[in-house]
């Protein structure tokens, strides 16, 4: 990613970390449109986590499960570029823990709807 793209990615991560999942999606989607290859797929995975948490916060358990499953698939299927500025293995592990918790419930109870989102930090 270019320095401008990294700054845009950081803006998206900052929004995610402050719980602004919809706004994070808007910022990262604009970045995603400009990327290619595995960088594009990895950013799409982060987008899907944001959408998943948006669904979770609004009580849409099935939507959250679906988006988080898709994100996990991106991280498992596509190699992370070596200079990608996010620790994808750690994020993938956290995502799997969250997915396991969501699979253990049948309805969006408060302790599930309010599960903490992973903290996404640049590692550059």
Q: Residues 64-92: what's their mean pLDDT? A: 91
- What pLDDT score does 105 carry? 92
**C-alpha 92: how far from chain center:** 9
Cα distances (angstroms) measured from residue 115 to each of 49, 55, 63, 111: 13, 12, 15, 6
| pLDDT exceeds cutoff 90 at 121 | no
Residue 1 corresponds to which tokens in the numbers above?
Answer: 């990613």
| pLDDT exceeds cutoff 80 at 10 | yes
**Average pLDDT of the chain to the nearest whole number:** 93
Query: How many whole angstroms separate alpha carbon 72 and alpha carbon 79?
Result: 12
Question: DSSP characters for 11-26?
Answer: HHHHHHHTT-HHHHHH
Whole-structure pTM value: 0.94
Give me the half-sphere count of Cα atoms (radius 13 Å) on the Cβ side of residue 37.
8
In the chain, what are the domains? 3-106 (1.10.3450.10)
Closest Cα to residue 103, out of 71, 67, 42, 62?
62
Q: Which residue has the higher pLDDT, 66 or 77?
A: 66
Partners of 122 in the beta sheet? 86
């Amino acid at each position: 990613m270019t320095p401008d793209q990294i700054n845009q990615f950081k803006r998206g991560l900052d929004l995610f970390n402050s719980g602004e999942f919809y706004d994070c999606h808007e910022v990262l989607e604009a970045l995603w449109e400009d990327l290619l290859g595995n960088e594009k797929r990895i950013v799409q995975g982060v987008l899907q986590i944001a959408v998943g948490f948006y669904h979770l916060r609004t009580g849409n358990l099935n939507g959250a499960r679906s988006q988080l499953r898709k994100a996990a698939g991106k991280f498992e299927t596509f190699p992370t570029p070596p200079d990608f500025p996010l620790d994808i293995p750690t994020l993938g592990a956290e995502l799997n823990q969250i997915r396991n918790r969501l699979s253990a419930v049948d309805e969006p109870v408060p302790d599930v709807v309010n599960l903490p989102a992973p903290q996404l930090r640049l590692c550059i």
